[in-house]
Structure 1
Amino acid sequence: MKPKSVGIRDVAKHVGVSTASISRTLNSPESVSSELRMRIDAAIAELGYIPDAAARALSSRRTRTIGAIIPTVDNAMFARGIEALQSYLSLQGYLLLLATSGYDPETEARQAQNMASRGVDGLILRGDTHTDALRRLLAAQQIPFINVGVYHPDKPYASVGGDNGAAAWRACRYLIELGHRRIGMVAALTRNNDRAAARVAGVRRALAESGLALRASWYIEVPYHLDDARQGARWLLSSPREDWPTAVVCGNDVIAYGVLLEAERRGLKVPDELSVMGFDDLEWSRHLRPSLTTMHVPTDEVWSRAGEYLVNALSGRQTTLHHEVDVHLVVRESTARPWTSGAAHSAGSDMGTQATQEIFHADG
């Protein structure tokens, strides 16, 4: 005979409480004491009880599932963010349901509809480029959601992220302060990507404020792949050497890796002959040689706070609608003063080394 499975009554008897107490703990853990939660969790683990998700959803009208739609999984920053989000949600007793959109708003809308039909309690969306159909769905179904990777305090819906335009302005401004006047950019594709577009706008603003401009021949957009980034750098450096930029701002760190690789292939010394600026501060950026100067984005914090917002909103707790994270400059070895002479070359290299030592000292 098939052995009898462990049920909620078995757990209640083991703990010495009613089945209603077990149900309340499973469906609304914040409504019971931490001591009772610990006793029930221990009993569930000891007995091997598996709660019936469908029954819990019917009784509480909640599935304790959060959906997240990201553009792609082929992105180290998204992978790190999703890992942080899943860790946080797991501690809160929530399950993460993940889907990708391929940077296509129509695909994102279809994925959101699929998730809504499966009863997700809330949604995490990347950026704020969404179709009208998706916005209508969220409003009609009253699904709590938050946009990650952007900070829009003027909008009536939640957001958590950095000010991409201001951060890119700071990155470009740093190169200008070093003495660069010939600055190019290898950006991520801006179509359906408000974060990438904001970074391009920030670079253009910094240049304009200094009486400079982003030449058409010094600007290119590429997909988020090393091969495409290398091709972009190849195109950027295809003109005669005297027409090259002395510094390049990259839309993200992976693009910057591609530029560094292409510079190495061409025999260019970074930063002596070309300064390279990244954006995101991925783990590899500090291990490269030369290590990458970049804008640090606290990815773990962004995604954890997105999960925290939804969990609090679903529990009826007061929560902040918008949260801006600190995106700051990390100076390493890939940037220095533009080369003009042997003396300037030496001074620029010394300055880059000194700045690198200072930032690593500050980081401990």
Structure 2
Amino acid sequence: MEGIKVSIVNKDAFTVNADILGMKYATQAHGLDHHVIEALEAKGLHISKDLPVLGNFHFMESHEVVAAPHLLFIGTPPLQELNYKEIRAFGTQMMSAAKESNNAAKTLLLTIHGPGYGLDEVESFKSQLAGITEAIENNLYPESLEEIIFSELSLSRSGRLRENLYRIFSDGLIPKPNSRKIDTRKAVASLMESTGKISEEKKRVFVAMPFAEDFDDIFHYGIQGAVNNAGYLCERADLESFTGDIMSWVLQRIESAELVIADLSLANPNVYLEVGYAWGKGKKTVLIINDSNELKFDTRGQRCLPYKRIKDLERVLTNELKNLSRM
């Protein structure tokens, strides 16, 4: 086979069969690594002193807390500093560490990093994929590796990631360095040139909205598609993923955004604070709301786009972003 297969499965990483389960450790445990460490501690295995700092890794047996027999932790910056460039570097180091730890591994299990704490979903995936591809280009991967599996709990996200994978590599294979297929070589070059460090230079939209599960579909289906189709990265904050001062991260993303979209539904005070900060920084804002009767404070005199259904929101936002691009 001239390439390494990439699969995206809608499954819990705890249950997926693979030779190695690879995870980040961002100075603290978050998400999957948090749950794995908890499961190890429940068995009396305390590994806190072994967890890696930035640039290092820790490889160990899983002690059957997950289906994979081995665990690989990669030290990364804290979440607030784990941007697209760092995600790409993480992808490269994961492959290199897997080679050093278990060169006979045939399958490597990973999860996507970035969208869970607010980064653009597609750009995060492409950045991680670019890092993996870079490692393969430089022969920094287990020589027996046949497949890289991305485990994703969200059915809708796994579908979106799969679509983007096939847009990049039409056959779902990352070519090995000796591959002579012209189209796959072009795909590699395009991916390597367009993601990671250069992602930080792309125009971004920051979405201010309530931290509530009910708003996930509004973000993913009403906002994200319209923003990406207009040529922007689409970011938002996720309160549950952060420890420490989330507001400093939010304000920094607003400052670097080209535009702020704010959903004023439920009259959430944090959203109003973010809108006020955006105005103070001279940022363009697009205000949306599900019920205009909920408008508070000085926003009553501002233009606000009402929506009843998610599909309506996507259409209205698409038109609004087109109009703004002409200004």
TM-score where L is the length of structure 2: 0.32
Which structure is larger by alpha-carbon Rg, 1 or 2? 1
Higher relative contact order (CA 8 A, sep 6+): 2
TM-score by length of 1: 0.29
Q: From the two aligned structures, give the one with the greater strand fraction.
A: 2
